[in-house]
Structure 1
Amino acid sequence: MTRTVYVNGSYLPEHEATVSIFDRGFLFADGVYEVTSVLGGKLIDFAGHAARLQRSLDELEMANPTTEEDLLEIHRELVRLNEIDEGLIYLQVTRGAADRDFAYPEDATPTLVLFTQAKSGLADNPMAKTGMKIISIEDQRWGRRDIKTVQLLYPSMGKMAAKAAGAHDAWMVEDGVVTEGTSNNAYIVKGNTIITRHLGHEILSGITRTAVLRMAQEAQMKVEERPFTMEEAKQADEAFVTSATTFVMPVVEIDGAAIGTGQPGDVVARLREIYIDEMRKAAV
């Protein structure tokens, strides 16, 4: 089945979709993106993704080519046209096409593209039963990680380093403490306390992160937003990551050291259950 994608106001077969070679997303990574999950044909936490998109655009002084209401309808239409029951929608906004110049162009029209990916097993991911293995790498990204830009080469390098080491992902370390995973936020659990890096320019404010921390507090779990070291992580009772497509995913090994019992723990399992249940109820 050929996917239908969205490009600058038009729904097109994917093989007919094109973007200018002068687009600044291609030339400068001058663009931002969001990924919204779909469960049961409905969008998970769409309002959160739309709000973060606007923040990213504002931080880069980039115009928003659409309204939140229109964007919601585009998402829903792509779900319908591509018959997505479980999967994701990728959205990207760039500053648009212009002659190559480091200075922002004054008259470029933003580029807006969206496409779907069908992914069965988001809610029933087998890895939730076995857990992830991760490695640590030095965080060598630029300083504004709070903006969700398309500058993803170093995270890709981190994914490949993890793959080469026989692991699933990497946690990045800066000044001796963990920032985040290559495409997720990182957490450890000690007793009834969930510990994760505080927000700032160093990490992305995850939409799933926000929901999970709220749900954890509602479930009478203690939350500490502070830096933690890899050594502290290795001594934790449990560890996990969150993202729009993994939801809440246990981590059972860090740099070869087993976390807790070496099996997914009860706290993470409960958080995953709560998150998926609540998000299904709130989906649009």
Structure 2
Amino acid sequence: MASSPDLYAFVRGEIVPLTRAYLHVSDLAIQRGYGIFDYFRVHETQPLFVEDHLDRFYESARLMQLAVPLTRAALHEVILELARRNDLALSGIKILLTGGYSPDGYTPTPGEASLVLIQQPLTMVEQAAVDCGIRIMSHEYVREVAQAKTINYTMGIRLIQRLQETGLDDVLYHQQSVVSEFPRSNFFIVRQDNTVVTPAENVLFGITRKKVLQLASRRYPVEEGPVTLMDIWQAKEAFLTNTTKRLLPVVELDGKPIGTGKPGEVTLALLAAFQELEQAELHVVRL
């Protein structure tokens, strides 16, 4: 990450210039890749869906047996103060919590967890990607402790070169043809009868996923349950959800088209509803 002299970060109890935001080499994130994170958008100084993200952050910490060194209220104040100092028009804040400094590079030291907040300018997905949809491949893999948002993205990063070589956009994990998630996104299909379905096992419960399920339930039948590779090829539509992409149509899997091979009406309707929800949330915060 390029360091900007104009930005600030929070590192182990203090806000410092991003150019001085470092952890010691004994930290278990460096030594063993042990830690969690969460990430949310900030519009000017207003974090979007921040309470949902904090719920998930503290749950990830619990699952990974990490003690957050700040109360929820204190962490919220740090988020707001960092956003005020950096004063960016559109950005993302990443909250990192690692196993902290360890004398033997393996055993956590009580009270030594490292809490880090980084804020960076953000560019949302281009409209062309929404208009055309994306093409993906499948790969057999299940994340360890899938319901925790850990910093272990080894498999996703290893597969980047294959995606670049094939000209595809993302990779969908599955186990014996039962799909779960993307490295950084949740997955949905729309059946021929307009039922909106998303996997419920071996997935991280994304905040955009949560909001889309709520919105979809007002218009369509909704299910959380098994989705197979064959279900995808027989589906009417498919899409992914995450913080920076919102809803993004998926039009091809492993070289086979999904539905008509174009973004579908249910996907686009839910995207429009989600964008309205975002604006309503930001308006409430401003008030």
Q: CA deviation at 1:80?
A: 2.4
Unaligned stretches of 5+ in structure 1?
A: none
Q: Determine the structure 2 residue equivalent to 1:245.
A: 244
**SS of equivalent residue, structure 1 residue 21:** coil
Aligned to 1:141: 143
Residue-by-residue CA offset, 1:73-125 (whole Å, 9 max, x unaligned): 222222222222222111101121011254443x3421111111212335x64
State how 1:133-282 maps to structure 2 within 5 Å.
Answer: 133-142=135-144, 144-190=145-191, 191-198=193-200, 200=201, 202-218=202-218, 220-282=219-281
Residues of 1 paired with 2:127 and 2:78: CA distance? 27
State the shift of 1:203 in Å: 1.2
Does structure 2 retain, via aligned residues, the 8 Å contact 1:86–1:121? no
With over 3 angstroms needed to count, the CA separation of the structure-2 counterparts of 1:273 and 1:156, relative to structure 1, is same
Q: Is the contact made by 2:37 and 2:151 (CA closer than 8 Å) also made in structure 1?
A: yes
SS of the residue 1:180 aligns to: coil
Aligned to 1:126, what secondary structure does the other structure show? Answer: helix
Q: Which runs of 5+ in 2 are unaligned?
A: none
* Match in the other structure for 2:38: 34
Residues paired across the two proteins, number: 278
How far did 1:159 drift? 3.4
User: What's the CA shift string for 1:223-255, capped at 9, x where partnerless?
Assistant: 111111112212211100011121111111111
The partner residue of 1:81 within 78, 85, 89 is 85
* Alpha carbons 1:137, 1:171 under 8 Å: kept: yes
- How do 1:123-138 and structure 2 match up within 5 A? 125-138=127-140
Q: CA deviation at 1:187?
A: 0.9
CA distance in 1, matches of 2:185, 2:280: 23
Query: Does the 8 Å contact 2:140/2:176 carry over to 1?
Result: no
Could you say which structure has the greater relative contact order, defined with CA pairs below 8 angstroms and 6 or more residues apart? Answer: 1
The CA deviation string for residues 174-220 of structure 1, in whole angstroms up to 9 with x for no partner, is 0221111111111111131111111x4x11111111111011102x2
Cα separation, 2, equivalents of 1:96 and 1:256: 44
The one-character-per-residue Cα deviations of 1:105-147 (angstroms, maximum 9, x if unpaired) are 3x3421111111212335x6431222111111111533x1111
Please name the residue that 1:98 is paired with. 102
Residues 1:116 and 2:119 aligned together? yes
TM-score by length of 2: 0.91
- For residues 88 and 156 of structure 1, the distance between their equivalents in structure 2, rounded to whole angstroms, comes to 21
Secondary structure, aligned partner of 1:239: strand
Structure 2 CA distance for aligned equivalents of residues 232 and 160 of structure 1: 27
Alpha carbons 1:155, 1:182 under 8 Å: kept: yes
Residue 145 of structure 1 aligns with an amino acid whose one-letter code is: A
Tell me: CA distance 1:83–1:278, structure 2 relative to 1, closer, same or farther (3 Å): same
For the aligned residues, what is the CA RMSD? 1.8
In 2: Cα distance, 1:66 partner to 1:125 partner: 39
Instruction: Tell me the distance in 2 between the aligned counterparts of 1:21 and 1:103.
Output: 14
- Calculate percent identity across the aligned residue pairs: 28
